[in-house]
Structures are given as structure tokens and as C-alpha cells.
Structure 1
Amino acid sequence: MNTGITSKEAILQVCRGIVASKGLSAVNMRSVADECHIALGTLYNYYSNKDELLLAIVEDIWKAIFHMDHKCPTDFTFPEYVAYIFECIQKGAEDYPDFFTAHSVSIANSEKGKAKSTMKHYFNHMKTGMLEVLQADDRVSGEAFSSAFTEMEFIDFVLDNLLLLLIQGKTSCEVLKETIRRTIY
């Protein structure tokens, strides 16, 4: 009886475990096949090369990070939602050490465009959620935005500062939340 893993979802689950415990650089076709208890050739039936597998892992981990609690964004005020995103990314960084810095380095030059596109997709996902929450937040002043200071420019500013806090290793985004409150309320 074959006890090996035989689905992309199960392979990715094993890969998330490898990334969580050993880092993204530990992923290679042979180690994944061994962990999945399948022949290396079988893994190649699912992923044609290491870069394709890495791209799938990167996308899967981004999905895991941004859908952790499956909370409805409109349950939050805008500053609370920004804090929620901050916490999700922090938790993702704890669950997948070095993922944020390693994933762009781990993929061959020919696949960097796809990796960058995947990351951009998830940043756009965050921005879309932020815009929905901002527009649903009934505390936002009607005079907060103008043609010179648009909602999307504000979201770009907030996301850039949120990521900067994470890169700097900050454990809180309270200053950013207060800046948001003073700007939009």
C-alpha cells in the first residue's frame, strides 16, 4: 500500500513544515520527496522543477499568513485592521523564520519575476482589504481625503510604514495606529 503523499495540497503542507523548521533554503526536490514518502519522479509529476515548487510554497505561505483567522475585515476600525495585518505578518515571521527575506533569494533569476508578481499579488490583496475597511469605517471624517490626498495614497503610506516597522523588528504598531487616528478621524 502506498503511504506517500499524492496531492499538491499535501505536498505543500509538508513543505510548510520544512520551511517552518529549517527555512526556505532547506527545500529541494529530493528532501521534499523524502518527507512526502514518494519517489523523486513522482514529485516531478506535480512540480517540473525546484523553482516551480518554491513559487508554489511562497504563494501557499503568503495565503497562510493572510488568512490566518479568517476574520471579516469590516469587523474592525481602520486602525484596528492595520494592527491585525501587523500581527498576522508578525505571526507569519514567527511561524516561518527568515521567510520574508529568503523567498526572493531562493528562486533562480529566471523565476524572480514570478516571485515578485506573487508578492505583489498579496500586497494588492492587503491594500484591497485595507480600502474596504477604510471605506466601511464610519468614524472616518468626510474631510479626511481629497484629490491631493487620496484613500489609495494613504493606504500606500500606511502599508509602507507598516512594513518598515516589521523590517525594523518593532513589536508594536501603536505609533502608526495613533498617526492613522489623528489623520482620518
Structure 2
Amino acid sequence: MNKNVTSRQELIDAAMEIARTEGIHKVNIRNIARKCSISVGVLYNYFPNKTELIFAVVDSFWADVIHSLSGINPRTVCFTKFVSQFYAVINEQLSEFERDWLTQLETMPPEDKKRGRELENECFQVLLELLRKALQRDTSIPASVWSEEYTQEEFLQFVFHHLIVLLHSGHKNCDFFEKTLQKILY
């Protein structure tokens, strides 16, 4: 175990690989040290505890998702097609992990859950912004769809909430949801 280390990113990549192949519950200091051929002590220089490591893995996961989503051009597809592609990208990324990895994070102590929720909310705001831009760029949606009682922002919250529910439920696609959005918008 005398390898010259490494970078924080290399450690996160190793943790991501373990999470993908063995499950997030197998991500721990010892397993990552073993995978990177370093001592446990070296790893503690980068992550003071397992919780910090898990947060780094989750943050890296969402960064990968957001990067993948940036490949979808909302200018070339209508909003409902964008939603379908958006869902497919996130679903594909999630499928690399155990289906219940988000649930496993719920076992963290309350103070860590709070911090985890804050990190999650930051990522979700970025995802919502992608949806917002796609909705605003879809010129085929009649302006009459929106009103003070039925705003774009509330609609986006509705769409995002239901996408998360579908992801948690393990649906392979959001075809029915896409059809529902088409009936609402067009």
C-alpha cells in the first residue's frame, strides 16, 4: 500500500465505482483505500469521515447527471420531448446504482440528512432551471395555457415532482406522463 496518492477526484471515482458495482452501502473508507491501494490514513486526509465521502459521491453523481443533461438541446425539441429525454438520462444514471441507493442514504443521522437534503436541493434547483429553460423556449405552447391561477412555475414544480416520483418508482420511461403533458400544453 505504498502508492503515491492520488487526488480527491480519484478517490471519489473509486467510491463511485464501488457504489455502481457493489452498492452505496459498500462505500466506506476501508474499501476505497483497498481499491486505490492506499492506507486508510491517507484517505482520511481527504475525507474526515464516511459521511463526507458519501456526500462527495452523491455530489459527483448529480454533477454527472447534470453534465449528461447538458447534451440535450432544448432548442431543438418541444418541452414534452425534452422532459422525456431528461427522464431517460436521469433514469439511466440511476440504473448504474442499486435502485434503492437514495433510500439507503436515509439511514444517516438527522444532522447529516439535513446537509444531504441541502445538497440535493442545490442539484434539484439546477435540474429545475434546465426544465424552466426548455419550457420557455417551446414557442408551440399557447400563451393562453398560463394564468395567475396556473403559472409556469407551479407547472414546473408539478412536472419535477412527478418525474422524481416516477424515478423512485422505478419506471423505465415516462411515456404516459409525456402524453399527459402534451394534453395539458398543446
Q: TM-score by structure 2 length?
A: 0.91
The AA in structure 2 aligned to 1:100 is L
Q: 1:102 aligns with which of 98, 101, 104?
A: 104
Deviations 1:114-169 (A, max 9, x none): 11111111211111110101001111111111111111100111112222222232
- Could you tell me whether the CA contact under 8 Å between 1:55 and 1:115 is conserved in 2? yes
- Report deviation, 1:24: 0.8
| Equivalent in the alignment of 2:35 | 35
- State the identity as a percent: 27
**2-side partners of 1:101 and 1:182: how far apart?**
33
Q: CA 1:36/1:73 → structure 2, altered by over 3 Å: closer, same or farther? A: farther
**What is the 5 A alignment of 1:46-85?**
46-68=46-68, 70-71=70-71, 72-85=73-86
User: What residue number does 1:10 align with?
Assistant: 10
- After superposition, give the CA deviation of every residue in 1:35-90 in whole Å (9 maximum; x if it has no partner): 11111111111111111111111111111223226313333311111111211221
Whichever residue aligns with residue 44 of structure 1, its letter is Y
Cα contact 1:82–1:177 (8 A) shared by 2: yes
Superposition deviation, residue 2 in structure 1: 5.4
Residue 163 of structure 1 is matched in structure 2 by 164
TM-score by length of 1: 0.91
* Unaligned segments of structure 2, at least 5 residues: none
Number of corresponding residues: 184
Instruction: Provide structure 1 residue ranges, at least 5 long, that are not aligned to the other structure.
Output: none
What residue in structure 2 maps to residue 133 of structure 1?
Answer: 134
What is the RMSD computed on CA atoms of the aligned residues? 1.8
